[in-house]
Amino acid sequence: MSRKVQRSEVCADCSAPDPGWSSINRGVLICDECCSVHRSLGRHISIVKHLRHSGWPPSLLQMVQTLASNGANSIWEHSLLDPAQVQSGRRKPNPQDKVHPTKSEFIRAKYQMLAFVHKLPCRDDDGVTTKDLSKQLHSSVRTGSLETCLRLLSLGAQANFFHPEKGTTPLHVAAKAGQVLQAELLVVYGADPGAPDINGRTPIDYARQAGHVELAERLVECQYELTDRLAFYLCGRRPGDLDLSELAKAAKKKLQALNNRLFEELAMDVYDEVDRRENDAVWLTTQNHSTLVTERSAVPFLPVNPEYSATRNQGRQKLARFNAREFATLIIDILSDAKRRQHGKDPLDLSQADDDQHDYDSVASDEDTDSELTAQNNNNTHMDSSDLSDGPITLQEYLEVKKALVSSEAKVQQLMKVNNNLSEELRRLQKEVRPSTVLKQLFLLCVHDCLFVLCGSVGRSSEEDSRGDVEDTEGEPDPTLPCTEDVILKTEQVTKNIQELLRAAQEFKHDSFVPCSEKIHLAVTEMASLFPKRPALDAVRSSLKLLAASASRLQVECRKAAPSDLSQVIQCAYDIAKAAKQLVTITTREKKQ
């Protein structure tokens, strides 16, 4: 479903008439030029969708339209409405301004840095503030005031907040009250339609019991949005309409070896890549290629999400290298394994097959003739349309998948043409770097080195662990050490906070250094609390000492750091990264003994 845009509507970021795109999670409508910046920010900042050329669930479209027409943009531009801001010369762009740097800098400040959002008074305990906001959200979703709930979400309210007294989440409340648009907004912000209440009932159950049948069906759609969209991207049908045969059993075995958390992360990353490719296809068909489709407006791979580790971000970006056939194979494997996990089937069933079985299903190559393919499929047994089995695909299914692959390959070729000049543009930009930015670039490189050291330890193999920076210690494993997964999760939090320091440096916001250092210190303290006060291993004691000392020193250095000399800040960040890496290495090795 698409929509007709009212002529009175304007772009939320530059006021250009007749906006063709929307930012779903921000509840605003945007023009083509501003959309190019939104896309470069990534889905974790702005989820964009074309108003006319993309498919829309009716209630999701109504949710965005309601927010846009009820002043959602004022949430993101709160401080700009202050007359003092106009007097100080601070203003939003107009349609005639250049995309780079005028519009792009404003959009990044508005949505990525949240520079204009209303700030709450500071409290000693940030967790209390978040809990209060989440409780307000929990009670507000039973009303029809979408903009109120969006404002609470913008301030940090949690869509999946579990109310300790009520025993429910906000989505349970919205479902019971029949608030379809509130439910859509909560799901956009990560609410889980399958989350149980204190008695094990889901929001879907609440909607059904209250007689809101359409809402219940929509929540079921949201629950299976990831797998449904992957299947729809692959061949234009949902899983209930089409059987998908597995193309490569060897690849499926690798997927089956992943634990559930890593599998979910991979599926979400592939979903984001599908969104990027689909938006690219819409972009290429709707833009004036002589002006807008340039190397600067293209999004050749998924933008970095600072919430994720460096290793995961690298993997996300590598998805763009998959050609259409490879990407389709990966999607099919994910869909197949998602169903296996849902039904709780043993992953060993496939690996225990006879040795004389082929590694791949019987799928005809491009050289196979139609008659050979028909003869082959005449021997196949018809499969139930709801079963993603491991059997061979039918002729009709193969032709449909092949048609979809050809179409996808054409889209990839278009993208390659658009991005041919990227390397030349990069060289040009490098020549234009002003001398005044050299110090900034050096600092960013050093902080990137810290992050590489920090994140590299998380992805180490057992062989690499044995060659780590910390010397091996003989004897029995130390039972007092925390589990490796907990240490890794805390390390990722340290990584995230150092990345915030990086963003502050990128924006020349030296007044943000102290808050960033305090967050790093808090993350370090939480990581250190996992370990016993008197560890048995000398290596653990020395690493914890370095970690704590470096985090404390970082706070001091950030308070007195001058823009012209950040060497001590860099050294502290590096020492924190080194100590964290050592702790991950030690814990991993000890738990494997």
How does residue 243 score in pLDDT terms, banded at 50, 70 and 90?
Answer: very low
Higher per-residue confidence, 84 vs 480: 480
**Across 220-235, average pLDDT:** 84
- Report the pLDDT value the prediction gives residue 358, as an integer from 0 to 100: 34
Q: Name 22's bridge partners.
A: 29, 49
- Report the pLDDT value the prediction gives residue 137, as an integer from 0 to 100: 97
- Report the pLDDT value the prediction gives residue 327, as an integer from 0 to 100: 86
Kindly tell me if the per-residue pLDDT of 45 is higher than 90.
yes
Same domain, 190 and 295: no
- Report the pLDDT value the prediction gives residue 89, as an integer from 0 to 100: 62
The 8-class DSSP code of residue 356 comes to T
**pLDDT single digits (tens) 253-289:** 677 788 888 989 999 999 999 999 999 888 888 876 5
Distance (Å, rounded) from C-alpha 94 to C-alpha 217?
42
**Would 430 be classed as within a structural domain?**
no
What is the side-by-side order of every strand in the sheet holding 21-23?
A: 28-30, 21-23, 48-50
**Across 180-206, average pLDDT:** 96
**Would 393 be classed as within a structural domain?**
no
**Would 331 be classed as within a structural domain?**
yes
Question: How many domains does the chain contain in total?
Answer: 4
39: CATH: 1.10.220.150
Kindly tell me if the per-residue pLDDT of 569 is higher than 90.
no
Final residue belonging to a domain, choices 186, 211, 235: 235
Kindly tell me if the per-residue pLDDT of 32 is higher than 60.
yes
CB 362 within 8 A of CB 207: no
- Report the pLDDT value the prediction gives residue 371, as an integer from 0 to 100: 40
How does residue 36 score in pLDDT terms, banded at 50, 70 and 90?
Answer: very high
**Would 240 be classed as within a structural domain?**
no
**Would 392 be classed as within a structural domain?**
no
Kindly tell me if the per-residue pLDDT of 242 is higher than 90.
no
Same domain, 184 and 220: yes
CB 305 within 8 A of CB 314: no
How does residue 330 score in pLDDT terms, banded at 50, 70 and 90?
Answer: confident
Same domain, 220 and 268: no
Higher per-residue confidence, 201 vs 413: 201
Same domain, 286 and 192: no
How does residue 245 score in pLDDT terms, banded at 50, 70 and 90?
Answer: very low
Same domain, 336 and 291: yes
Same domain, 586 and 443: yes
Same domain, 193 and 260: no
Same domain, 77 and 148: no
Distance (Å, rounded) from C-alpha 470 to C-alpha 487?
16
How does residue 362 score in pLDDT terms, banded at 50, 70 and 90?
Answer: very low
What is the reported pTM?
Answer: 0.58
**pLDDT single digits (tens) 120-156:** 765 555 545 889 999 999 999 999 999 999 999 999 9
Final residue belonging to a domain, choices 288, 314, 342: 342
Same domain, 225 and 328: no
> Of all residues in the chain, what percent carry a pLDDT higher than 90?
37
448: CATH: 1.20.120.330
Higher per-residue confidence, 480 vs 411: 480
Kindly tell me if the per-residue pLDDT of 485 is higher than 90.
no
How does residue 376 score in pLDDT terms, banded at 50, 70 and 90?
Answer: very low
**Across 81-91, average pLDDT:** 69
Maximum mean pLDDT: which of 156-160, 226-230, 377-381:
156-160
Kindly tell me if the per-residue pLDDT of 216 is higher than 90.
yes
Residues in the chain: 593
Q: DSSP string covering 416-483, please?
A: HHHTTTHHHHHHHHHHT--GGGHHHHHHHHHHHHHHHHHHHTTT--HHHHTTSSSPP--SS--TTSPP
Final residue belonging to a domain, choices 327, 342, 357: 342
CB 297 within 8 A of CB 41: no
- Report the pLDDT value the prediction gives residue 593, as an integer from 0 to 100: 60
Same domain, 45 and 138: no
Q: How many CA atoms lie within 13 A of 73 on its CB side?
A: 19
Where do runs of H (alpha helix) occur along 122-248? 126-140, 146-154, 170-177, 180-188, 203-209, 213-223, 225-235
How does residue 443 score in pLDDT terms, banded at 50, 70 and 90?
Answer: very low
Same domain, 497 and 586: yes
Range of the domain at 336: 249-342
**Across 450-472, average pLDDT:** 44
**Would 474 be classed as within a structural domain?**
no
**Would 416 be classed as within a structural domain?**
no
Closest listed residue to residue 56, CA positions, set 278, 288, 353? 278
Kindly tell me if the per-residue pLDDT of 192 is higher than 90.
yes
207: CATH: 1.25.40.20
Q: Name 49's bridge partners.
A: 22
Q: Which residues contact 31 (CB under 8 A, 6 or more apart)?
A: 11, 13, 14, 16, 18, 19, 20, 21, 95
**pLDDT single digits (tens) 6-27:** 546 899 999 999 999 999 999 9
Distance (Å, rounded) from C-alpha 514 to C-alpha 227?
43
CB 20 within 8 A of CB 43: no
Same domain, 442 and 570: yes
**Would 46 be classed as within a structural domain?**
yes
Higher per-residue confidence, 574 vs 551: 551
